[in-house]
Structure 1
Amino acid sequence: MEDEIGLATRAAWMHFAGGLTQSEVAERLGITRLKAHRLVARAARDGLVRVFIDGEIAECAQMEGALSAAHGLDFCRVVPVLDDDPLPLKALGIVGAQYLKGVLERDEDTLIGVGHGRTLAACADHLMRMPVKRTRFVSLLGGLTRKFSANPHDVIHRLADRTGAEAYVMPVPFIANSVEDRAVLLAQRGVAEVFDLARSASLLFVSIGAVERQASLIATGMIDRADMDQVRRDGGCGEILGWFFDRAGKPVDTEVSHRVLSLELEDLRRSRMIAIAGGVAKVDAIASVLASRMLKGLITDERTARTLIERLERPRGPAPRK
């Protein structure tokens, strides 16, 4: 099996990187053209091939500028959608991996804090294998579910596997049973050290969560449905690293956030935080987090970006009479 994978990798490299036809690949490897075709197809199917395209799409570039100007972003990337999926994981995963690849190649951020979730996991899955020099990764919040099982959308271990980098995980649940339990967990030596490390990260790469019953936080068992219902009643609209914001971008003082094992809100305000998120169900959530001015950068898809911009351009109602 390992020999077959190695052969598929070599065939894909000759075809995609070397520009050889599949007939030429077959001749170089001493195999039939049919087998060469199957090997190249297998490499693409098994994720051994990563495609990055340089250049800008004019409309996407215009939306990037509009979102940056409206929300004070230092960086914005809008990616074309690939299909009609309400959650464009593939498109976001590809461009997110491209962004991470650039960060790792520049080797300026030696400690990167990462969140978790489906979108970030897709980024890690699309990242090509590349050894890093000095970069380390650290979790920004607890990764265990309420049932004390591992988060199925774990990101930091996938990144460590792709890059060979050191990774520091917070061995605690996403949310504690009480505020008192949270304090006890944070006081543990191993946990406190990871939190201190997370505070010193020069870049935070995170996702944005929706406050709804179908949210990923509920589906993965990170938070109870009753807790999410309480957040929504308190006015929560969008979530980032366990902190919730209302439609105006103001933090929601909900009891749930005080039990989340994550960095403090003030720590996040001082950070350079880049979020990647998109999809129909997350428009309200992304808008609320953008309004908070917590982000330095955003990666999203063109449908989501267009909807966000349309909201900005929507005429406001007449001013109330005095």
Structure 2
Amino acid sequence: MSETADLRLIEKICWYYYCDGMTQQNIAKLLGLSRLKVIKLLEEGRQKGIVSFYITRLDNNKLDLEKKLIEKYNLENAYVVPEPENSKNITESLARAACSYVNLRLTNDSVINIGYGKTLSLAFNYLASESQCNWTAVSLTGGVNNYLPNARSDIFKAKMYLYPAPLLMNSKELCDKLCEHPDLAWIKRMASTSSMTLFSAGGLDEHATVIEQGLFDRSDFIYLKRLGAVGDILGHFINKNGEIVDKDIDSRLISTSLDTLKNMPQTIMVAGGSEKLQIITAALAKGLCKVLITTEKTAENLM
């Protein structure tokens, strides 16, 4: 975990304890940490000079944004990262933040569900390389290449259980038949044992993962927009009310259903950027996540 991410967590704990008057036990429960970890980080806060007569206005603003997100969307937690100077770096920033957030909560033999997309692929690689625990990753969708280690993952410590299938099939009949295969059924059972679930949100712009990987093209996106789509979650294209816009496309997906996703424990959405604001809002309104990791500007626009 980076020093910056570590300091952010210490700042948050100090704020909750000294300014909000929360107990150490309640802070531990809120952040998914042990009480001993909270005590240790409070002591580090004192040693590092984070605890003073005031908390800087910048940090105050971030904490305030996180509290407002939690209250408005009935979340268990929110983590707001600084807005990158270059919007092209949003994916990297969010992936790093997701890695830090999950890494603090990993234990040996944890099972983590991983969704589809560039941000989570990068976060997965960081986490699998940096974690000191023995843990297991389970894919939530088809599309094997999205989950494979990249060149920067020199030490890949996670076990992987992946759907041996593409994300989108040619027909519903072929999709249904493949989903009956024992290997796919077993992966679904593994996903149900998870302690955390990470997923992202896909916008309807030319840089969307499903376009870059050739599953859809721009004309498909024009069609989906005309149906009211604001983006996709795990390949499911939904409107602002969280409703599937094209049942034919949806019936051909090798993917976890949104109803199943909603009922999974500790669901964490990792997404940010102006092009994803509508789909993030729709996912939050539908109650798909319990934790949101996003950028400062996105958080402000969600208020």
Instruction: Give TM-score, length-normalised by structure 1.
Output: 0.70
Q: CA–CA distance in 2 between the matches of 1:226 and 1:256? A: 14
The 3 A distance-change label for structure 1 pair 120 and 307 is same
Q: CA–CA distance in 1 between the matches of 2:301 and 2:68? A: 12
Q: Deviations over 1:200-222 (max 9, x none)?
A: 32321111111334422111223
> Are the aligned partners of 2:204 and 2:275 in contact in 1 as well (CA < 8 Å)?
no
Q: Deviations over 1:213-253 (max 9, x none)?
A: 44221112233444433332221113111222212333435
- Aligned-residue sequence identity (percent) comes to 28
Gap runs ≥5 in structure 1: 1-48, 145-149, 310-322
1:70 aligned counterpart, secondary structure: helix
Gap runs ≥5 in structure 2: 13-58
What is the aligned partner in structure 1 of residue 138 from structure 2?
Answer: 138
| 1:267 equivalenced with 2:269 (yes/no) | no
Picking from 147, 164, 169, the partner of 1:171 is: 164
Matched letter for residue 65 of structure 1: K
Matched letter for residue 276 of structure 1: V
Q: CA–CA distance in 1 between the matches of 2:74 and 2:148? A: 28
| 1:293 equivalenced with 2:249 (yes/no) | no
Number of matched pairs? 250
The 3 A distance-change label for structure 1 pair 124 and 270 is closer
1:255 aligned counterpart, secondary structure: helix
Q: Deviations over 1:37-61 (max 9, x none)?
A: xxxxxxxxxxxx9443412421111
Matched letter for residue 121 of structure 2: A
Matches within 5 A, 1:249-260: 249-260=242-253
The 3 A distance-change label for structure 1 pair 196 and 271 is same
Matches within 5 A, 1:221-232: 221-232=214-225
Q: CA–CA distance in 2 between the matches of 1:288 and 1:249? A: 6
What is the aligned partner in structure 1 of residue 18 from structure 2?
Answer: none
Matches within 5 A, 1:202-221: 202-221=195-214
Instruction: Give TM-score, length-normalised by structure 2.
Output: 0.74
CA drift of 1:178 comes to 1.1
Matched letter for residue 211 of structure 1: L
Matched letter for residue 293 of structure 1: G
1:274 aligned counterpart, secondary structure: strand
What is the aligned partner in structure 2 of residue 69 from structure 1?
Answer: 71
What is the aligned partner in structure 2 of residue 117 from structure 1?
Answer: 117
> Are the aligned partners of 1:227 and 1:256 in contact in 2 as well (CA < 8 Å)?
no
> Larger Rg: 1 or 2?
1
What is the aligned partner in structure 2 of residue 191 from structure 1?
Answer: 184
The 3 A distance-change label for structure 1 pair 252 and 304 is same
| 1:239 equivalenced with 2:241 (yes/no) | no
> Are the aligned partners of 2:125 and 2:149 in contact in 1 as well (CA < 8 Å)?
no
CA RMSD of superposed structures (Å): 2.5
Q: CA–CA distance in 1 between the matches of 2:139 and 2:284? A: 22
| 1:89 equivalenced with 2:119 (yes/no) | no
The 3 A distance-change label for structure 1 pair 241 and 162 is farther
What is the aligned partner in structure 2 of residue 22 from structure 1?
Answer: none
The 3 A distance-change label for structure 1 pair 81 and 89 is same
The 3 A distance-change label for structure 1 pair 233 and 113 is same
2:130 aligned counterpart, secondary structure: coil
Matched letter for residue 79 of structure 2: R
Q: Deviations over 1:20-74 (max 9, x none)?
A: xxxxxxxxxxxxxxxxxxxxxxxxxxxxx94434124211111111111111111
CA drift of 1:163 comes to 5.2
201-210 or 109-118, larger mean C-alpha shift: 109-118
> Are the aligned partners of 1:211 and 1:237 in contact in 2 as well (CA < 8 Å)?
yes
Q: CA–CA distance in 2 between the matches of 1:86 and 1:212? A: 14
